[in-house]
Structure 1
């Protein structure tokens, strides 16, 4: 899903992109985009996920509770805006930031799931010719390419795995930690019985 979102954003070597949200999909999107040769910025407010992103070393980290993300993206691009934003948080404010931070003619990819309506300005999409697209599921034809990236080109996806748990702990140590805004988990692998 992470690679598919970046691909839907038409990200190319040398592009500057913003990823909003550093959960498992956002973190993997950052790894993938950096591997493609993009300059990557990540906006994340959870301190545990911020630490993980710093440890990955593939992106410049912004904290939306402290940093003006839109201004930072304009500064980083000479006032133009980023080429693409991959919105991975499912948060209304992050989506609004994405639209303001992207350049005219750029891409905003909705990968995070919004479970309630979000307010955006459709006229801004039209005036600035922003391509706004969603993702739901990746094509299975992507698997050989992604496996090759992991195997031969060293896409270090294992660095995003925060823990491995037993099946009996899937709710308390897995799901509840993953959905908690202050949770310490990013990607949890579950051992079968």
Structure 2
């Protein structure tokens, strides 16, 4: 009997480990109980409602309010202040019915465009547009697939506050927001 006890213990441990792997149970440190599973990505751009892009918690965290739909292409504009303290900003999400490459070709035909590719996030190619204009703004163009892309623009909300952010302030705000936006877009496809 004594010789079988370690073998029996090993067999029971093996069964428990296999059962845990099949059911998804784990006692390891890969998240543990209480950690939320990652949110599912939308299947495609058509399944995104622009003004519902951010959760209520994210709207509070980013101090965004007064969502307004913009159309053709589909988008939403929020007012906010979290990206530059003391100044009111406008954050716009626009879902484009064309690829990022097609959008880049269009942008590059206009004079004065300053477009640079920035570091990819999660394998997704992203470009920054810092074209000078009458308003202070910064944009990020996110590649999605061969027929769609997304643009996130942060600009000052003119006439609302006396404090004016610089273009670098706005680009810094978008850089902080970029990973969150990337995680809410459809998975990267070629």
Same fold? TM cut 0.5: no
Bucket of the pairwise TM-score, normalised by the shorter protein: under 0.3
Higher helix share: 1
Task: State the TM-score, normalized to the length of structure 1.
Answer: 0.23
Task: State the TM-score, normalized to the length of structure 2.
Answer: 0.23
Higher strand share: 2
